């Protein structure tokens, strides 16, 4: 069951935020972009205008200058035209670079840098007329249209008031000298542009935090989505259990090569085999260096016999060591006594084989705590 927007009241997790950035879904404010284009463009235009006018005036003077040399070599006119074109293109390129830089910085300041191609990847579902018509009447689109209508009304009101107060001086410019008229007209245009930029600054100051709030709201998650993401992040418990089992089997399989170093192998006749090693000079306690079940247990047994390592039958101890001890780790302290009994027997057996002592009797029955034996523990649970 899909959750509707009313159920989404949990903030987005870090994983969902990263996914949104990868998909190109970040906060953007078109009004901050408009402000960057108009503001920086106006400042750049005012700053570059004197230099550009001087260059244009110089090139026009050269274009309109005719002498005997120009008449004799008409191709010189093409060189002048080329110089004028190059200067104009360089000025336009500089202006465009300044505006583009301002647009990029304005977007980065709000949503950060996004290196994703997904927003520009062709999606034929977007050109579906019916789907596009439906998207025109969403709450976000209606709110955007309402905001634009308010801005247009305020901008029209400011423009009307400004024109009403300045139209008479502007109309009287026809009576002024051209230099003074041009200067007044430039000041009049700059002042009008300043009012428009002031309005865009106010709108952008409101729109930026609003867009951040709306972006966070769109990314909110329902309880079901949160649980599903948590499940995907941590992994399915059954899958994780199977992976751990497989890793354990691989680890046990790889430990078979350590069997020749063991002091003895204890077995549950056909199901479990555990190889134990103890060096009192380097170890604080006996360690399990290999263990396995079924076919792997048979491999451990056969390899131990090939290397003349004692193989003892002790089902309870074998099961307890297999269930509670890890390869390469010390055995549990609760099994110290049981393993010590077996080690003592093994040492006497090896001494007898070397001819240094009589043969020991039957192998001991180690004292294994009942709670460490999986079979006895399961029987106790089943018993009423």
pLDDT in tens, 307-317: 999 999 888 89
Asked if pLDDT for residue 362 goes beyond 50, the answer is yes
Contact 342, 311 (CB under 8 A): no
**Phi/psi at 267 (5° precision):** -130, 150
pLDDT (0 to 100) of residue 197: 85
**Residue with more model confidence, 275 or 46:** 275
R_g over Cα of the chain: 43
| pLDDT, the chain, mean | 79
pLDDT (average), residues 118-137: 63
Judge residue 193's burial from the number of C-beta atoms within 10 Å of its C-beta, 0-12 exposed, 13-18 middle, 19 or more buried. Answer: middle
Helix axes 178-218, 139-171, angle to 10 degrees: 170
CA-CA-CA-CA torsion sign (172, 178, 183, 188): positive
Asked if pLDDT for residue 334 goes beyond 70, the answer is yes
pLDDT class of 277 with cuts at 50, 70, 90:
very high
Q: What is the pLDDT of residues 36-48, one digit of tens each?
A: 888 888 888 888 8
pLDDT (0 to 100) of residue 276: 93
- H or E segment and range at residue 274: strand 272-277
Kindly report the CA angle at 84 between 81 and 85, in degrees rounded to 5?
85
The span from the CA of 301 to the CA of 309, in Å, is 9
Other Cβ atoms closer than 10 A to 205: 14
pLDDT (0 to 100) of residue 266: 92
Asked if pLDDT for residue 364 goes beyond 80, the answer is yes
The full set of domains in the chain, from first to last, is: 9-119+150-217 (no CATH), 255-382 (3.40.1690.10)
CA-CA-CA-CA torsion sign (180, 183, 187, 188): positive
Asked if pLDDT for residue 235 goes beyond 60, the answer is no
Q: What is the DSSP letter of 117?
A: S
Report residue 343 CA to chain centroid gap: 54
Alpha helix locations (H) across the chain?
Answer: 14-22, 30-63, 68-72, 75-111, 129-135, 139-171, 178-218, 223-234, 237-254, 295-306, 315-324, 336-353, 374-382
**Phi/psi at 268 (5° precision):** -95, 115
The span from the CA of 182 to the CA of 189, in Å, is 10
pLDDT class of 134 with cuts at 50, 70, 90:
low
The span from the CA of 101 to the CA of 68, in Å, is 47
The span from the CA of 154 to the CA of 76, in Å, is 54
Contact 183, 191 (CB under 8 A): no
The span from the CA of 19 to the CA of 378, in Å, is 46
* 272 beta partners: 268, 293
Q: Is 112 helix (H, G, I), strand (E, B) or coil?
A: coil
Q: Is 300 helix (H, G, I), strand (E, B) or coil?
A: helix
The span from the CA of 293 to the CA of 268, in Å, is 9
Q: Is 198 helix (H, G, I), strand (E, B) or coil?
A: helix
Kindly report the CA angle at 124 between 120 and 127, in degrees rounded to 5?
95
Asked if pLDDT for residue 129 goes beyond 70, the answer is no
């Amino acid at each position: 069951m899909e959750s509707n927007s009313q159920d989404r009241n949990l903030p987005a997790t870090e994983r969902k935020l990263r996914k949104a950035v990868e998909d190109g879904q970040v906060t953007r404010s078109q009004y901050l972009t408009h402000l960057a284009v108009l503001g920086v463009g106006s400042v750049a235009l005012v700053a570059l205008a004197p230099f550009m006018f001087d260059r244009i005036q110089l090139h026009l003077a050269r274009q309109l200058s005719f002498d005997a040399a120009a008449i004799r070599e008409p191709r010189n006119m093409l060189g002048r035209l080329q110089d004028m074109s190059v200067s104009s293109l360089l000025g336009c390129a500089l202006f465009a670079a300044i505006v583009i830089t301002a647009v990029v910085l304005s977007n980065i300041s709000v949503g950060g840098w996004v290196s994703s191609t997904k927003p520009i990847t062709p999606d034929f579902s977007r050109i579906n007329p019916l789907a596009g018509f439906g998207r025109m009447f969403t709450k976000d689109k209606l709110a955007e249209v309402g905001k634009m209508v308010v801005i247009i009304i305020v901008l029209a009101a400011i423009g009307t008031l400004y024109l009403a107060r300045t139209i008479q001086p502007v109309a009287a410019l026809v009576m002024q000298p051209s230099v003074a008229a041009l200067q007044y007209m430039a000041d009049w245009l700059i002042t009008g542009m300043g009012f428009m930029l002031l309005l865009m600054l106010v709108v952008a100051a409101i729109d930026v935090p609003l867009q951040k709030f709306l972006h966070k709201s769109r990314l909110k998650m329902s309880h079901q989505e949160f649980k599903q993401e948590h499940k995907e992040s941590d992994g399915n418990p059954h899958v994780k259990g199977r992976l751990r089992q497989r890793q354990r089997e691989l680890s046990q399989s790889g430990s078979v090569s350590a069997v020749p170093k063991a002091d003895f192998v204890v077995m549950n006749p056909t199901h479990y085999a555990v190889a134990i090693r103890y060096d009192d000079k380097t170890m604080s306690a006996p360690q399990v260096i290999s263990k396995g079940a079924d076919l792997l247990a048979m491999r451990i047994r056969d390899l131990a016999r090939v290397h003349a390592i004692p193989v003892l039958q002790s089902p309870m101890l074998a099961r307890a060591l297999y269930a509670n001890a890890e390869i390469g780790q010390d055995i549990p302290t609760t099994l110290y006594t049981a393993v010590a009994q077996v080690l003592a027997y093994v040492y006497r057996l090896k001494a007898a084989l070397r001819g240094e002592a009589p043969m020991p009797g039957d192998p001991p029955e180690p004292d294994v705590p009942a709670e460490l034996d999986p079979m006895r523990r399961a029987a106790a649970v089943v018993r009423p």
